[in-house]
Amino acid sequence: MTRPNRREVLGAAVLGLPVLAAAQAGQSAGPADRLKVVVVGGHPDDPESGCGGTIARFADLGHEVVALYLTRGEEGIEGKSHEQAAAIRTAEVENACRILKARPVFAGQIDGETEINFRRYDDFEAVLMKEKPNVVFTQWPVDTHRDHRAASLLTYETWLKSSRGPSAFSLYYYEVMTGTQTQVFRPTHYVDITATERRKRDAIYAHVSQKPAEWFPVHDQMNRFRGREHGCAFAEGFIHHDHSRPAALP
């Protein structure tokens, strides 16, 4: 469990952001402390892979968690049309989110054809800000997959536009397939996911079409390595954008 440090508590108080009492006492959040947490990913299985344990911990503490998928993974199943793949992967998302106690939302772009332009910035902002998030996790922008980079930059643009107003949210970045996809990732914060690692694993394995047994071991290594860095069995690492509002993580 991570306790907020003095700087985080003072910063949250100054900026009016709720401090997670549950992170201090291991108790469920009351109505006044309840947060809206949004985890953005390029494809079905990205939020689960990078943040699954943290999603489960937030949800278990009584916070509302939304998994926001930029695409429905239309290119993700060989031999299937976009429509067929999207239907299969959407069902897998629903199963994964049920395991993690999250709510899925889709931003309407197409796997392998994601775009970053004025219209797409506005479209994504509308989807994300409709959720009125307090904390947003998104993919790290230095990544070999263009859809991951698109998800990251669209989120960052939304944060930039909201950062000076009352709708500003905390911004954190997460990693996936580090070394193969995410690169030069140096965590500033960790969440101990030892208690929720099994659910993260189950949520990843809910994406049956993606043959998770072939790639889950990479994430298992990440979880164990970040755990060693943090002094626990399993952890997820994050980078906090230090110009964004601080939030105490579970």
Q: Within a domain: residue 250?
A: no
Instruction: Take residue 239 and report the two structure tokens written for it.
Output: 């980078």
Residue 169 lies in a domain: yes
Asked if residue 11 is part of any domain, the answer here is no
- The string of pLDDT tens digits covering residues 69-122 is 999 999 999 999 999 999 999 999 999 999 999 999 999 999 999 999 999 999
Residue 138 domain-assigned?
A: yes
- Whether the Cβ atoms of residue 61 and residue 22 lie closer than 8 Å to each other: yes
Structural domain includes residue 229: yes
**For the domain that residue 143 is a member of, what is the CATH number?**
3.40.50.10320
Note down the domain range covering 191.
33-240
Residue 245 lies in a domain: no
pTM over 0.75? The answer is yes
**pLDDT digits 0-9 by tens, 163-213:** 888 899 999 999 999 999 999 999 999 999 999 999 999 999 999 999 999
- Any domain includes 5: no
For 123, 168, 184, the CA distances from 176, given in Å and listed in that order, are 25, 26, 12
Strand partners, 193: none
- 214: tokens are 């072939």
Which ranges of 2-145 does DSSP label H, i.e. alpha helix?
6-15, 21-25, 46-60, 82-100, 118-130
Could you give the number of structural domains in the chain?
1
